[in-house]
Amino acid sequence: MGEFVALEVDGAVGTIRLNRPPMNALNKQLQEEIRAAAQEAAGRADVRAVVVYGGEKVFAAGADIKEMAAMSHADMTARARGLSSSLSAVAEIPKPTVAAITGYALGGGYELALCCDRRVCGDNVKVGQPEILLGIIPGAGGTQRLSRLIGPSRAKEVIYSGRFVAAEEALALGMVDQVVAPDDVYAEAHRWASGFAEGPAMALAAAKKAIDGGLDGDLRNGLHLESELFAALFATEDRAAGMESFIANGPGKAKFVGR
């Protein structure tokens, strides 16, 4: 457990909880604590899915601009890849992940949400990439992940303008996946994550690796990756249990052990 980030586990769902009041500004320490929590969640067998949550009032309103303003070109050259990789540690968790977004998810905060597989937000939320208003661009994955999520034209409009996007428009654009009442955000995200608590962990990890890895290259190499991961699952206990259960009882009744 760090000063600003904790991993809390409840019923096989791990919650990476940000707690740096008032706005969860992502300074270097918070970034590195996110990395540590993500790596812990990735390695724990008792964690089968992960929620990333900033609390009831705000997800994360962006980078710590006071800290960033004091950095020179040399300072940021040394730090930029570490900033990006600290949030990418969440994307690399080989389990289903969901961002529970309240209040604001802006700049680095929205880039953190982009590292999750799914984004649930309150109907009063604002999301966006306002870095252009500071004379910079998103530097922790925003230009890359947002373009892959909603397409380059829409991503360019959001990034070029730096505007705050309200929840319903964000849903229409594909920037978030579900809009609920503000008080229901965490519960809904946890409910979604809980659906994988007894799922085939290795197959879920393989599906995530195939999808994310395929998007990094061309179709041919993506298909090769898929074939390799598909074949590898035939060495797992869950594959045997799933097929035996299907033959005996039909679909959806298998008991998986995560091996």
Q: What is the C-alpha to C-alpha distance for residues 120 and 113, in angstroms, rounded to an integer?
A: 9
Q: Quickly tell me which residue has 């503000």 as its tokens.
A: 182
Q: C-alpha distances in angstroms, 187 versus 9, 104, 113? A: 14, 18, 17
Give catalytic residue positions: 63, 108, 111, 131
DSSP state, residue 21 = T
User: Sign of the C-alpha dihedral, residues 172, 175, 181, 185?
Assistant: positive
Copy the structure tokens of residue 94. Answer: 């080989």
Q: Quickly tell me which residue has 């209040």 as its tokens.
A: 103
Shortest CA distance to 179 belongs to which of 98, 62, 101?
Answer: 101
- From the CB of residue 234, how many other CB atoms can be counted at a distance below 10 Å? 9
- Rounded to a whole number of angstroms, the distance between the first and last alpha carbons of the chain is 28
Copy the structure tokens of residue 135. Answer: 């004379």
Q: Where are the alpha helices (DSSP H) in the chain?
A: 28-43, 65-69, 73-91, 108-114, 142-150, 152-161, 167-173, 185-194, 201-215, 219-232, 237-249
